[in-house]
Structures are given as C-alpha cells and as structure tokens.
Amino acid sequence: MPISSGVNAPTLSVLHAMLDRQAGGTTGLDIGVRTHLGSGTVLPTLARLERLHWVESHWQERDPGDPTRSRRRLYELSPSGAQVARQSLREAERRHSAWTKGLRPARGAA
C-alpha cells in the first residue's frame, strides 16, 4: 500500500535508513539490519531506486590491510534521491499525524 507519493512502506524504510547514513554510503546488509527487511526486499528496492537515479552505488575498494575481506557494494542517495526521501518522509509523517488525530480511545480506556 503506498505510503507517500507512490513510495511504499519498505521503500520509505530504505530511504529513511539511507538518509541517516549519507556520508560514504552504506551496504545493503546494513540497510537490512537497520530496517528489519530481508535482502529479498532491500536489494530489489535499491536496484529500483538506482534505476530511478535516486540511489548511486559503487564497489568499495579492497582494504590492503585485509586482503581476505570481500569488496562490498556501497549505496548512497543522489542529490535528487535525498530530496525525494525527505519529501516522502515529511508526507508520510503528515499523513500519519492526520490519521492518528482521528483516532479515539476505546470507551472505558483512560
């Protein structure tokens, strides 16, 4: 179900996690841990965001101090992606506030 401007809940979670980790990028695994989403959701979401030019990715250089460690793919929001992410999060918050404003406590609840 769309949350904001065509952005569904998992995409919104990924964008939020990426806004928190702008400098230097972040891995798909880190995004999955932060959002509690599996790689089957995170990686296709990142690929879709990359096709939209909201996300840019690159391979991390090998660490000469640890040649056994595999290279990792790092993802960063593009300038337009960061703008869309902020707008989407603001819109989601506005909708959530409007929705919760209409809620009433159950009778007898205090």
Per-residue confidence (pLDDT) for residue 109, from 0 to 100:
57
CATH classification code of 2-60+72-94: 1.10.10.10
Q: Where are the domains of the chain?
A: 2-60+72-94
pTM score of the predicted model: 0.75
- Residue-by-residue pLDDT tens, the chain, 110 positions: 334 456 788 999 999 899 877 677 899 999 999 999 999 999 999 999 999 999 999 998 877 777 787 888 999 999 999 998 899 888 888 876 776 766 666 666 55
Angstrom distance (rounded) from CA 24 to CA 29 = 15
Angstrom distance (rounded) from CA 31 to CA 75 = 9
